[in-house]
Amino acid sequence: MTCGERLVELLAGHGVELVFGIPGVHTVELYRGLPATRIRHITPRHEQGAGFMADGYARVSGKPGVCFIITGPGMTNIMTAMAQARGDSIPMLVISSVNRTEQLGHGGGRLHELPSQCALTAGVTAFSHTLLRTDELPAVLARAFAVFGAARPRPVHIEIPIDVITSPADHLEGTRIAPPPHRPGPNPADLERAIEALGAARRPMLLLGGGCVDAGPEATALAERLDAPTACTINAKGVLPKGHPLALGSNATFPAVRELLAAADVVLAVGTELGETDYDLFNDNGLRLPGRLIRIDIDAEQLNSNFPADLAILSDARLGLRALLAGLGATKPDAVASEGAGERATEGASLAARARARLEVEWPAAWRPQRHALEVVQQTLPDVIIVGDSTQPVYSGNHCYEASRPRSWFNSATGYGTLGYGLPAAIGAKLAAPDRPVVALIGDGGLQFTLPELASAVEAKAPIIVLLWNNHGYGEIKRYMQGRGIPAIGVDIYTPDFLALARAFGCRAGRARSFEELHTHLRSADRLDTPMLIEVLEEGEFLG
């Protein structure tokens, strides 16, 4: 058995179910052992698509997305996807080939040669490793899965020289699969201080980030125990149940929520980097946290980034929240009369309700038709997963939309902010959750970045719904330029016939001219076993 064959055997032992990749002359030996495992191979049409598919699969399944990537151009092609995954803390394992061991670093003009692939990927990975001996394989894989399971998830890159891929690995038979270490829990002394501060708080608030995506019950219980209005980042949508009276949505960038934060005496921020795309969307540096700031994060470096903590707790989000709940006890705050109606509500719920009412006024009027379109999607497909690109209805939905549960709304408008993400990431999401409807929400400009992946969806039997918001160009950037008196150059791009293209790739296709037609197309698409593209023109009802 070769190193390449042993590799796929070990991946299967670590629970890997899917691999995304495009075979090439340097990587074919990685494929020799696949038929002996239950690992399914998915072929994208571009290595960037492979990375985005792995990203979408990881966000929905919670498992690392795995890619087999060719030396050189394959690695440069997947770098954007790795950067997006790094920006949003997504587990991704990229296994690539590299030139022969004796050729590394010599600059001999070999096929696919780069000076250093590891140097190229260093800035977008937790670590990048060159496997020089077969004996290193089990330990390096164990290190990668330890990052995915017990640390802040990030991409990991392992490159294997083509002579090492084919080297003997019979002696590794029966290698024990090392289980990942447990995630860290809070330090008892820090926990005690946090419990004391939160127990004495008169106006506490919670800020929940993507690190809480698997801690929904604990986060909800703590919010209720503290009677704390709670804001979630975009990647934490659904952590608090839809319609929860303490929920403020993903709106910490708006005055209604910022004023609550400024008035809070204790703010507990869990699993969030307190970054720009969630807390300062308008780049006005207006977020203020004058009260005591307690932060819980699995990444020690993150605990004092952007907003230094008064109390920093290094811990997994779920373990930290559980410990706080245990320390605070189950006693709930007294109810007080809410304003107006004769109902009873907590003070925190009343504060949150007033903030939500203000948000309805603060949100731009242009968002209303886009919000309505998202409501139609959710009403028609109640358990839908919406995977977004960088496009206008995604920007508005990041604030207006409430997900039914965690891991059901994510997009590339956060963090790294790339275009072309939505379609391939939706394919990965559908492969992770085949029984749930998956909608790729994408603009006409972004779709043209990765349009050939429609063929991948057909081939993989992943019946996603592509909801194309067509404004005939880079509409958001055009408005941005016009608002600053800049000539609108490069934004009015040629728009092809997307319906014809979708059909040529083997998909169904239709155009929605009204919200009623959108509902009809969605209902029809949900019954299909092939992908469907629904084009919405930004005009009429959809323009408002």
The model's pLDDT over 87-110, given as tens digits with 9 standing for 90+, comes to: 999 999 999 999 999 988 888 888
User: How far apart, in Å, are the Cα atoms of 70 and each of 28, 79, 86, 252?
Assistant: 9, 12, 21, 42
Name the residue type at position 232.
Answer: C
What integer is the mean pLDDT of 165-170?
A: 96
pLDDT for 105:
85
Query: Average pLDDT, whole number, for the chain?
Result: 95
The model's pLDDT over 141-158, given as tens digits with 9 standing for 90+, comes to: 999 999 999 999 999 999
**367-542 belongs to CATH 3.40.50.970:** yes
Supply the pTM of this predicted model. 0.96
3-172 against 188-362: fold identical: yes
pLDDT for 244:
97
How many CA within 13 A on the CB side of residue 477?
15
pLDDT for 180:
86
Name the residue type at position 115.
Answer: P
pLDDT for 339:
40
For 188-362, CATH gives: 3.40.50.1220
Sequence-distant (≥ 6) Cβ neighbours of residue 474 within 8 angstroms? 443, 445, 490, 491, 493
Per the CB < 8 A criterion, the answer to whether 78 and 69 are in contact is yes
For 3-172, CATH gives: 3.40.50.970
pLDDT for 330:
66
What integer is the mean pLDDT of 467-496?
A: 92
What integer is the mean pLDDT of 33-49?
A: 97
Domain boundaries, the chain: 3-172, 188-362, 367-542
pLDDT band at 334 (very low <50, low <70, confident <90, very high): low
Asked which of 101-105, 339-343, 424-428 is least confident by mean pLDDT, the reply is: 339-343
What integer is the mean pLDDT of 315-337?
A: 81
pLDDT for 344:
58
Cα–Cα dist 498/510, whole Å: 10
pLDDT for 342:
44
Residue 307: strand, helix, or coil: coil
Name the DSSP letter for residue 451. Answer: T
